[in-house]
Structure 1
């Protein structure tokens, strides 16, 4: 099979090579997926550059999330052969999704709904499902509350904006480039704050009548955490999602949690109960079918152009980059 692989760390277009490798064999609890489409995310670039904590040494085959057909399944995998599933990949052991086949654990995987195109399904777990875990299962968001999304123009932030609006929240999004403000508003943001124009705390409190944001959805990490903590309401909920702004999650001091009267939680699609998963599948599927949420795709990339697409990640991308890899008829 063909797979993109880097034997050394470096710029993606410099180190990635399309190579022939053996088709992997699934172990207990995992499946071999014939990859149809793969999400290209900032963590993929970071792991190629040696900045991702889960991939400390090369070789690297990036690709954390895919949609694919179950070709073979190990003992205990939850779905039968032939199912089109959305799942994570075993990228930490070299079986990432930017390949014709990959290994995917059953934990966290969900069936892809029939009306969802591959290009939308490929990133659905790490965006809308994560947002559902964060906003619904962990923060218990209620209609009328305010949400501050740190990093609103990225794929994770923009889908959180969409879901929050579908749930009846007022959404404030942050951007570092004023040109991205219009994009966040297209996703449904009620207010957009350009971080170069003044105090985040002052602007959020002005927009919330002095109260502060009820919920903070942090996709950026340590570079914005202190400012966001000052902008949160008493009793607010701070959701840790990622660290697109650097290479580490923020450190939230217990003293700040105490004196701000807030709670801090994380959100992963692979860390939830079966009931939470099934509720998310039903609700998100309905919202997608009704057109209330839709994957914000910047560009669909041919398999041959993956390295150049990874070079683009960061400020040059609004929403998601998706690699088209296989065909359902193959």
Structure 2
């Protein structure tokens, strides 16, 4: 038996609980590992509350990414062995959620625990970098001369996008609600900080880009936030909507400004990209190489003991963090 983090329906409410569950043996192509640390993501909260496009089932484990030590492999596994240090790539199947003291992941979604990384860093890297990799590298092909707007930039996903965009040679504009996080975002690599509470978001963007506007928007807020920057989009702009932190499940889109620049809105999900085995391999190789040579590294905001999972998710829900929130198990 080992403790696991589950979402269950209790007294008519969706709740997170820690319960002991059986430690099953890995099947063909599966890797089991002793979990040392677990990365938290807003997708966990969406799944908990029924807002994720993966339908919530009860009870089921929760958690997309973790790092640990392999303790068993199933038939046919060739790339890792017992004793190896590994991380899990997030891929969205609740049957393979990793929140707990042991986890099982299919071999194709086992990733390196980078040399020189702590368990906390190894558990908190893959979601943020993979999520940013596909829109910025493969779809929009960001590079020198491009300006990228990263919204909700102090989140782990936002910070990951800042690092990937800079790695690709783009200029990064990071948006934040208040000026309180502006210095932090500049230290994290943003070339310019757009402060929403100061008003005229489009004007701030035009000023930062010399009037050219942004070609790529990495959009976690959505709702009616489009209206604030629609007049600062460059021709052919691509808006990648991967979150809805603005609170609305729908997009309030200003049609005319978007038509004017032939903008495209992409309703984007990392999990959809990882359905292609070739994409899995390309993204893992790119991110692993960038971590190995120190070009990217996750920013860890706070580490909670696994036993304080409810406090960790409440802290995430508050929006106070600057970077990744991670839980550490008794093995870490």
Query: What TM-score do you get using the length of structure 2 for normalisation?
Result: 0.84
Between 1:264-273 and 1:202-211, the stretch displaced more is 264-273
1:253–1:322 CA distance, 2 compared to 1 (3 A) = same
2:307 is matched with which residue? 304
1:157–1:93 CA distance, 2 compared to 1 (3 A) = closer
1:245 is matched with which residue? 246
1:51 is matched with which residue? 51
SS in 2 for 1:130: helix
Kept in 1, the 8 Å contact 2:91–2:109? The answer is no
1:64–1:214 CA distance, 2 compared to 1 (3 A) = same
SS in 2 for 1:8: strand
1:64 is matched with which residue? 64
Alignment of 1:207-218 (within 5 A): 207-218=208-219
1:138–1:76 CA distance, 2 compared to 1 (3 A) = farther
1:249–1:136 CA distance, 2 compared to 1 (3 A) = farther
Deviations 1:146-188 (CA, angstroms, capped at 9, x unpaired): 1100110100001111222232221111111321212211111
Q: Distance in 2 between matches of 1:95 and 1:167?
A: 32
Deviations 1:49-89 (CA, angstroms, capped at 9, x unpaired): 34334243432432111123343445565633334332246
Superposed displacement of residue 22, structure 1 = 0.9
Kept in 2, the 8 Å contact 1:239–1:267? The answer is no
SS in 2 for 1:157: helix
2:270 is matched with which residue? 268
2:329 is matched with which residue? 325
SS in 2 for 1:222: coil
1:313 is matched with which residue? 316
Kept in 1, the 8 Å contact 2:300–2:326? The answer is yes
1:224 is matched with which residue? 225
Superposed displacement of residue 288, structure 1 = 3.0
Kept in 2, the 8 Å contact 1:89–1:103? The answer is no
Kept in 1, the 8 Å contact 2:305–2:328? The answer is yes
2:136 is matched with which residue? 135
Extract unaligned runs of 5+ from structure 1: none
2:167 is matched with which residue? 166
2:291 is matched with which residue? 288
SS in 2 for 1:313: helix
1:124–1:247 CA distance, 2 compared to 1 (3 A) = farther
1:79 is matched with which residue? 79
Query: What TM-score do you get using the length of structure 1 for normalisation?
Result: 0.84
Extract unaligned runs of 5+ from structure 2: none
Q: Distance in 2 between matches of 1:254 and 1:25?
A: 53
1:181 is matched with which residue? 182
Superposed displacement of residue 123, structure 1 = 2.2
SS in 1 for 2:141: coil
SS in 1 for 2:198: coil
2:16 is matched with which residue? 16
Kept in 2, the 8 Å contact 1:70–1:85? The answer is yes
Q: Distance in 2 between matches of 1:47 and 1:323?
A: 18
Q: How many residues align?
A: 326
Q: Distance in 1 between matches of 2:273 and 2:250?
A: 18
Q: CA RMSD in A?
A: 3.2
Deviations 1:104-149 (CA, angstroms, capped at 9, x unpaired): 2344442223333221111222111222222111110111311100
Kept in 1, the 8 Å contact 2:90–2:109? The answer is no
